[in-house]
Structure 1
Amino acid sequence: MWVEGTVISRIDWTDTLFSLRIRAPLAPFIAGQFIKLSRILDDKRIARAYSLVNPPGSDFLEILAVTVEEGQLSPRLQELNPGDRIEVTATAAGFMTLNELPKDIGKHLWMLATGTAIGPFVSMLATAEPWDRFERLVLVYGVRHRADLAYLDELKALQAKYPDKFSLILSVTREAVDGALQCRIPEALASGELERLAALALSPTDSQVMICGNPDMLASAQQLLLERGLTKNLRRAPGNITVEKYW
């Protein structure tokens, strides 16, 4: 079911990376879920999924998107301004949520994200659940350029607020940035650099790992974790690794 939403504000992080805040009726959702946005183009509905960046209970919806030059929808979304209308699904969906993690495995939560896949983790971290449930939280955020680090101020504020509980590890692959790695997340995982920077070991008994991002990162990181003895988290067989492809 589609409902009409109204853009109330936007942020342009770069020439192609942007956030939209939309006011629209939406059923209650769980942090980490996604909605679909759509437009009717040439009498055909074009719809794409976008994770919600805002936490549950907000009076707006927020999505983070990147314009794909040959894309059918994203260039048109980037043209939207406050007051413009956009159709939104009336309910959110998806299983990249904390309630899908087993309650009895892992006291440390690792979150690995690339690019716009940071969105669901921003939503989760704005709720009480991860802070109440886990002893340590580690967010690894990989991008190509420093300007691509959307929501960095909010994440650094969490790091300052919870210095003993929350570790923020940045990776910027195509330029040198003070305090950030300059390698892909799987490389830092394989070398042990992520564990060194977090001062925390990954293990089948103590770790839950949520991975959200591009398929190459997801596949490589997951394989490395499997080799370390961690297992995929399935409803029929609870484990350590939860993944969501971002395109």
Structure 2
Amino acid sequence: MDARPDPDLAAGTGEERWTAERVLELRAWTPRQLSFRTTRSPSFRFTPGHYARLGLDGSDGETVWRPYSVVSAAYDDYLEFLAILVPEGAFSVGLERLRVGDTLRVDKASYGFLTVDQLAPGRDLWLIASGTGLGPFISILRDPAVWRRFERLVLVHSVRQAAELAYRDEIAALPDHPLLAEGGARLTYLPVVTREPGATALAERIPHLVADGRLEAAAGAPLDVATARVMVCGNPEMALEMRGLLRERGFATGRRGIAGQMAFENYW
């Protein structure tokens, strides 16, 4: 995503605020969607679900900063991000020019509240994403602690075209990963393609699928406040609708040190 610049960073940052990291790999999922890996400073720490602030030189010579969720696992020695190219976007212009070996800036700190430690204990973890909102959930699903904490993991990913279903093969392989398999959780992956008829069994917007019960039927698990914990990341309209639907069922976000039953990413 190409979000608004962070004023604190855009106003000028000293070198001590960031590290220069080298691009290791670029992967184009579609002409407008790509993922990329960079080197990782040994001092960079994050919790799965966090985002990092990335900086690229703009056309005016100033650094343009944008927040991107970390896709890689906390134990990986590289950082990975999933991005959409916004036409004429200040950051996207630089991102589109990136090649393996180029450098970008990574803020030394990580940020965000889309982490499982924000949630009260529960049986099922629902990860609901649209578009590149999938990114933090890949990192969360790569965390062995998540597979030990929950019995069921339900990943819902909505896109317009099937080609945008990034990491589909990687998701299918997660239950067999040696670090995750011993956790015992069962993973259900529900891709949703809304503008390519017949591409997936589910083909409507996520809030509609929740409202009429089809999402729960496909998952074989209820979105019940007693057992389910829900994390949402993606299109702001979808997130707003999901917040309302979940509130009607008794779900609440955490506040003042009290863990909740749902969590949302707010940096979009």
TM bucket, shorter chain: over 0.9
Task: Give the TM-score normalised by structure 1.
Answer: 0.93
What are the Cα deviations for residues 52-101 of structure 1, in whole angstroms up to 9, with x where unaligned?
10001211111000100021011211211111111111121111111222
Return 169-178 or 214-223, whichever deviates more.
169-178
How has the CA–CA distance of structure 1 residues 177 and 91 changed in structure 2, closer, same or farther, with 3 Å as cutoff? farther
Find 2:45's aligned residue among 16, 25, 28.
Answer: 28
1:172 equivalent to 2:193? Answer yes
Instruction: Please list the CA deviations of residues 137-173 of structure 1 after superposition, one character each: whole Å capped at 9, or x if unmatched.
Output: 1111000100111101111223678797111111111
Q: Which of 61, 71, 80 is equivalent to 1:62?
A: 80
Determine which of 13, 18, 26 is the counterpart of 1:10.
26
Partner of 2:10: none
Structure 1 segments unaligned to the other structure (5+ residues): none
Contact 1:37–1:89 (CA<8 Å) still a contact in 2?
yes
Structure 2 counterpart of 1:148, one-letter code:
E
Tell me how far apart the structure 2 counterparts of residues 83 and 236 of structure 1 sit (CA, whole Å). 43
Letter of the 2:189 partner, please give it: L
Q: Give me the whole-angstrom Cα distance separating, in 2, the residues matched to 1:100 and 1:238.
A: 5
Give the 3-state SS of the residue equivalent to 2:110 in structure 1. coil
- What amino acid does structure 2 have at the position aligned with 1:65? A
Give the number of equivalent residue pairs.
Answer: 245
Distance in 1 between the 2:153 and 2:174 partners? 11
Distance between the aligned counterparts of 2:191 and 2:175, measured in 1? 12
Aligned partner of 1:190: which letter? A
Answering whether residue 264 of structure 2 is matched by residue 231 of structure 1, we say: no
TM-score computed with the length of structure 2 as normaliser: 0.86
Counterpart for residue 199 of structure 1? 220
Could you tell me how far 1:240 is from its partner in structure 2? Answer: 0.9
Q: Which amino acid aligns with 2:141?
A: L
How much is the aligned-residue C-alpha RMSD, in angstroms?
A: 1.8
Distance 1:196 1:29 in 2: 35
Match of 1:102 in 2: 120
Whether 1:126 and 2:142 are equivalent positions in the alignment is yes
The answer for the alignment partner of 1:185 in structure 2 is: 206
Question: Cα gap change, 1:83/1:160 in structure 2, threshold over 3 Å: closer, same or farther?
Answer: closer
Segments of 5+ residues of structure 2 without an aligned counterpart are 1-16
Q: Does 1:215 align with 2:233?
A: no
Q: Does 1:240 align with 2:261?
A: yes
Could you tell me how far 1:238 is from its partner in structure 2? Answer: 2.7
The answer to whether residue 109 in structure 2 is matched with residue 91 in structure 1 is yes
Q: Which moved more, 1:235-244 or 1:41-50?
A: 235-244
